[in-house]
Structure 1
Amino acid sequence: MIKQVNEHKTVSCEDELRFFKAVWNNSEDNLFIVLKTEDGDFITERTNPALVKLFQFTPEQASGSSLKALLPAEAFQKIAQRYNDCLQNNAAVHYEESHVLDDSGGVRYWETMLLPIIDEQTGEQRVFGISREFTRLKRIEEQLKLANERLEEKVKARTKELEEALQKMEKISIYDKLTKLYNRHKLDDELTNEINFAKRYGNCFGLILMDVDNFKTINDSLGHVIGDKVLVEFADVLKQSIRQTDIAGRWGGDEFLIIVPKASRETILHLVNTLQKNIKQHEFEKVGLLTLSIGGAVYKESDDVDSIIQRADRALYKSKNKGKDNFTFE
């Protein structure tokens, strides 16, 4: 029984040849055998039907044709180098190649494997080649790559839009829409930071709280449009009057606040004098000259955000009660 099984598994040379011919004639892969000549040329000995059909070879080209004569010199040198590497190393060689086969300009792609066939008795050297087309996969790969590139572009564009939107939202969240100075929310944050720094490091800072004298009269007599223009102009003068380290913002209505880091009473007094001078020299559109009522306070160890604001606010109202166009320390 065992003997019968072994005999059944035995494949004769004729069977192997028949199987090879079936593969050779019916395979969709391109199969070829080339013989290396003594002068370094390569001769096509066999070319399977798939390869003949692909390149539309004549019978002469399919068998017995010199590759050196058939191909341009540069193409022959490239192919000969691969064939020689295969034979010299007596090992398989894998590579990808591409060709344009017609006037459409479309490039097609193949993955090729070369196998060395060296006759030990005669010394003849042959290369057996198997070339499988993967143009469709290449097209899909190119489409996916293009789709990814487009997706990346869209993501970048969307990310940029989101960053710009976040920047706008940040500006909206910390800047007063009318004057473009810091809004009250931002001033609260900055004032909290100054209080914390002062308590931790012993820094001293000051506050200046002010409003435009007779601003209600301007709104009532000339309208809110003119009143808004006054506030915008005032904000510009304010920005030009303070130091780079000072923090100015709109506290509400016609009230404005300046946080003066590392400041003494003398520093605050100098800043107030500069501001009053600049305001009195500025001709406001359709309004003329204006004055300010100002209150100031310097940080004390017992202060928190509310207490220092309250002291500056009391000083402001004292200035108003003095007849306006005044500055008072609390």
Structure 2
Amino acid sequence: MLQFCPSPVSPAGWAEILRDHLSVFESLWQEFPDHIFLVSCTADGDFILEDCNPALQSYIGLPAGKTRHRPVRELVAGPYQETVLERYRQCVSSGKPYTYEETGTVTDSDAVHHWMTLLVPAHGPDGRVSFLLGISRDVTALRQAQEVLRRENELLEQRVALRTAELEMANAQLRQMAMYDSLTGVYSRGVFFELASEALALTRQECAPLSALMLDIDFFKKVNDTWGHAAGDQVLRLVGRRLREQLRGSDIIGRCGGEEFAVILPRQQADRACAVAQQLCDAMCTRPFPWEQQQIACSISIGVAELSREDESIEKLLHRADLALLQAKGDGRNCYRLASGSDLVAL
């Protein structure tokens, strides 16, 4: 059988304990830096601010006598008012603690603040939520710092993107410089031989024809000696341009050194290669090269060679074309000659 054991604490002792506890809570209420507020929930769905701690009173800017027992809608300004009330309704509806971040203004202040708020519902004897205890921490400084950091990161990303674009452009320019001869605009020697070797391998695989041209500017030393090296550079530049204008996009043009150029004509037999060679000779000799206020007359000589079974490499094919070039120069220049071993005899 249960026996009632009287409390060793007297009523006066309990009163003392309660006073001590109340003193602690009062001290916390007064000194707590975050905003603490107690809101009552009316039967008709309104919310009344019953009390708030000094930190919140100071923030609102009203004395305690003017904040207690006032509807929340009278203390919260503008469009933010409905947002606050809706949060309260959600907490009442769920009957559970509710945490959210809110942004808005207080009373007539135009300054936007950010709070992290916790609402804790208190149920009455009838089970209905009768009070909400709220604790709000002002995180405005944190959000402002985060916004500054976001903007700085965004600016940094823009700078990185700009720098990356600059580096990509610089790399593209370097690739361009590595691939193309800076003066004539045709492929550099190394790139030309690489592409020509690839074209040769593809030709072998497809059993297709392929021809090569070796060409040289006639009396180029005389151009330099008479007009100067700047004029010679201009002639080289325009020869490169005319080659690109006269040839197909699939043709491979390279500067092999000095005034010497080489061309690979994929899928072209000797007869067609000779026609192209004559076309190039005409393009050079019939149009003088402008230099300052004068015109420089130049011509080219060309050696033509069609790929044969004996040509084990692109170098072997170009060597035969080079021998034909020497023959063209020996025969008076401003002409082309077809290499021995090709199917067509040069005219």
TM over 0.5: yes
TM-score (norm 2): 0.85
**Alignment counterpart, residue 289 of structure 1, candidates 267, 275, 297:** 297
Structure 2 CA distance for partners of 1:65 and 1:101, relative to 1, 3 Å: closer
Letter in 2 for 1:310: H
Structure 2 CA distance for partners of 1:238 and 1:23, relative to 1, 3 Å: same
The answer for the alignment partner of 2:3 in structure 1 is none
Structure 2 CA distance for partners of 1:255 and 1:45, relative to 1, 3 Å: same
Letter in 1 for 2:300: L
CA RMSD of aligned residues (A): 2.5
Q: Is the 8 A contact 1:199 1:301 kept in 2?
A: no
Q: Is the 8 A contact 2:278 2:335 kept in 1?
A: no
The answer for the alignment partner of 2:175 in structure 1 is 170
Distance 1:33 1:176 in 2: 82
Gaps of 5+ in 2: 1-8, 340-347
TM-score (norm 1): 0.89
User: Equivalent residue of 1:290, what SS?
Assistant: coil
Does 1:182 find its partner at 2:203? no
User: Equivalent residue of 1:328, what SS?
Assistant: strand
**Alignment counterpart, residue 228 of structure 1, candidates 212, 222, 233:** 233
User: Equivalent residue of 1:238, what SS?
Assistant: helix
Corresponding pairs, count: 322
The answer for the alignment partner of 1:98 in structure 2 is 103
Distance 2:261 2:48 in 1: 94
Gaps of 5+ in 1: 1-6
Shift of 1:74: 3.5
Q: Is the 8 A contact 2:77 2:107 kept in 1?
A: no
The answer for the alignment partner of 1:319 in structure 2 is 328
Distance 1:102 1:43 in 2: 16
Does 1:202 find its partner at 2:207? yes
Does 1:310 find its partner at 2:322? no
Structure 2 CA distance for partners of 1:157 and 1:240, relative to 1, 3 Å: same
Distance 1:69 1:14 in 2: 34
The answer for the alignment partner of 2:146 in structure 1 is 141
Shift of 1:195: 2.2
Q: Is the 8 A contact 1:44 1:61 kept in 2?
A: no
Which digits, 9 at most, give the CA deviation of each residue in 1:236-293, with x for residues without a partner?
2212211121122222111111111111112211211221222232122234433221
Shift of 1:100: 4.7
Structure 2 CA distance for partners of 1:161 and 1:123, relative to 1, 3 Å: closer
In the TM superposition, 1:1-330 aligns within 5 A as 16-72=21-77, 74-100=79-105, 106-121=111-126, 123=128, 125-285=130-290, 286-302=294-310, 303-330=312-339
